């Protein structure tokens, strides 16, 4: 599997430091090895120049025992190579071995290699198959129109270079490991302010900024503007200050609006009730009432009832927004669903109502009146926004930590663009429809507020022919 490069800034900086040091070590090692090799080869060339081809010249005489004409190996280092060429043909070739010369049986390739050496008094590197090694050789002209070649083995040079390469590899490897560990610790210490910035940003990101009063964390300390991390910290502190100021302003605006809604709803209840009472009183008049006046009084009564429901809904939402505590008692959720479904069946006899309930009663801890109101609002919503003949099913399922109430229907569904806003106040599926249905656009908002106040969730999924509203309530001990 291909390994991915480090993704964190600390890993990238550490890896970059180690890679740069590795490149520097590699360059230093290569340069040192090449310089040492050139130096040692230069020393070999000096020795070859000093020898002047004496060993190669001694090969011209036959090696006779007990005579003064045997090859001169005195003063020659072991493994020194010598060869004599006449008319570009190798006539003699030998290697010094234990202070004596040892003739070499050259291969045709070796002979061609020796014949191709320039006679320029400079050193050249060749490989001889007969001696299984590399030599540094030098060719000089002899006294008898011949060419004298003297060489010394390159094995000591190569061995020395390989040894220094091994030493450098060990030293540089240890330096890389030590630098990697030390660099990682140093980078970790240097990036500590950046980790504080990241932690503070993550802390703010986890706050519920959408609504309600939010306690913002304090500013970051020790933000040095001379460093990049300090500049980021200062920018974050300024941003948090602006966010906190905006949240305070928003909270104050919401509080004023909530208080206004609660006060207005409370103040409107009395005059609306008076209007409704006077309309009912006028309808009970014993004398003849003109048809037009009776119709107007009946409409006043109907609209006053509708306004009463709207005022009650607004007042309930204001109380829930203010965090008013709900009742905390054991509630038989199965019984609530049975009662709410009976009410919906009576109000919408043209719909088909079905129940899917467990055999045993299901209970939760909460406010029975508000939970029944939430379930009733869902059933009323299904009855109001689906045509007669629609199947509406209420199901109750239990889990280990929660219970779920599903209200589903096979109606036309909710437009996809409207689904994210169905629980928003005063949102309606048809903005152009008449108000004859009596809908205020607050029913689903009340459902969401009640279930949220109980620590649960309200969701909706819809497509043509299938709409499901789901209420999820936690199971808590009384």
Q: 3-class DSSP state for residue 140? A: strand
Are the beta carbons of 413 and 465 closer than 8 angstroms?
A: yes
Banded model confidence at residue 471, pLDDT cuts 50, 70, 90: very high
Residue 393 phi, psi (nearest 5): -120, 130
H or E segment and range at residue 201: helix 192-205
Residue 140 phi, psi (nearest 5): -130, 150
User: What does the DSSP assignment read for 339-378?
Assistant: HHHHHHHHH-TTSEEEEE--SS--EEEE-HHHHHHHHHHH
Can you tell me the mean pLDDT for 143-148? Answer: 84
Which residues, 6+ apart, have CB-to-CB distance to 459 below 8 Å?
A: 469, 470, 472
- The residue ranking higher by pLDDT, 425 or 332, is 332
Mean pLDDT, the chain, integer:
80
Is the pLDDT confidence value at 74 over 60? no
Q: What is the dihedral of CA 218, 219, 221, 225, to 10 degrees?
A: 180
Instruction: Tell me whether domains 216-324 and 329-474 share a fold.
Output: no
pTM of the model: 0.48
216-324 in CATH: which number?
A: 1.10.287.130
Are the beta carbons of 153 and 132 closer than 8 angstroms?
A: no
> pLDDT digit string (tens) for 408-449?
999 898 888 888 888 887 766 554 334 444 456 778 888 888
329-474 in CATH: which number?
A: 3.30.565.10
Which residues, 6+ apart, have CB-to-CB distance to 73 below 8 Å?
A: 55, 58, 96, 99, 100, 101
- Domain range list for the chain: 12-160, 216-324, 329-474
How far is Cα 174 from Cα 176, in angstroms, rounded to an integer? Answer: 5
Query: What is the structure's pLDDT at 163?
Result: 93
Most confident segment among 240-244, 418-422, 467-471: 467-471
Query: What is the structure's pLDDT at 276?
Result: 73
Which residues, 6+ apart, have CB-to-CB distance to 400 below 8 Å?
A: 475
């Amino acid at each position: 599997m291909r390994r991915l490069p480090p993704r964190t800034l600390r890993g990238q900086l550490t890896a970059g430091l180690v890679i740069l040091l590795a490149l520097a070590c590699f360059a230093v090692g290569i340069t040192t090895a090449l310089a040492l090799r050139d130096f040692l080869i230069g020393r070999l060339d000096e020795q070859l120049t000093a020898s002047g081809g004496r060993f190669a010249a001694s090969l011209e005489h036959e090696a006779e025992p007990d005579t003064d004409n045997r090859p001169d190996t005195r003063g020659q280092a072991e493994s020194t190579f010598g060869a004599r060429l006449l008319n570009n043909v190798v006539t003699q070739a030998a290697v010094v071995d234990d202070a004596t010369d040892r003739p070499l049986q050259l291969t045709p390739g070796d002979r061609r290699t020796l014949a191709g050496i320039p006679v320029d008094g400079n050193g050249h590197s060749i490989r001889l198959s007969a001696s299984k090694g590399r030599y540094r050789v030098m060719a000089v002209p002899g006294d008898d129109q011949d060419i004298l070649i003297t060489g010394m083995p390159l094995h000591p040079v190569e061995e020395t270079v390989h040894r220094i390469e091994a030493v450098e590899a060990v030293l540089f490897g240890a330096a890389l490991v030590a630098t990697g560990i030390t660099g990682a610790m140093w980078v970790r210490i240097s990036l500590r302010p950046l980790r504080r910035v990241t932690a503070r940003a993550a802390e703010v990101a986890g706050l519920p900024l959408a609504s309600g009063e939010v306690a913002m964390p304090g500013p970051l300390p020790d933000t040095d503007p001379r460093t990049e991390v300090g500049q980021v910290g200062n920018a974050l502190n300024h941003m948090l200050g602006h966010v906190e100021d905006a949240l305070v302003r928003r909270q104050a605006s919401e509080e004023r609006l909530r208080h206004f809604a609660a006060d207005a709803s409370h103040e409107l209840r009395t005059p609306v009730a008076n209007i409704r009472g006077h309309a009912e009183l006028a309808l009970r008049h014993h004398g003849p009432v003109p048809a037009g006046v009776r119709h107007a009084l009946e409409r006043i009564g109907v609209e006053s009832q509708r306004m009463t429901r709207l005022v009650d809904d607004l007042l309930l939402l204001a109380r829930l927004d203010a965090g008013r505590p709900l009742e905390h008692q054991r509630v038989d959720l199965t019984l609530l669903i049975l009662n709410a479904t009976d009410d919906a069946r009576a109000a919408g006899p043209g719909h088909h109502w079905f129940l899917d309930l467990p055999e045993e009663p299901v209970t939760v801890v909460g406010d029975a009146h508000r939970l029944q109101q939430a379930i009733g609002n869902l059933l009323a919503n299904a009855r109001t926004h689906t045509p007669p003949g629609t199947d509406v099913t209420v199901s109750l399922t239990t889990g280990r930590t929660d219970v779920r109430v599903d209200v589903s229907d096979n109606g036309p569904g909710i437009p996809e663009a409207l689904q994210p806003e169905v629980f928003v106040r005063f949102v309606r599926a048809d903005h152009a429809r008449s108000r004859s249905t009596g809908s205020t656009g607050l029913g689903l908002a009340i459902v969401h507020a009640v279930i949220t106040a109980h620590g649960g969730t309200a969701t909706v999924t819809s497509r043509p022919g299938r709409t499901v509203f789901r209420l999820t309530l936690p199971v808590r001990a009384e």
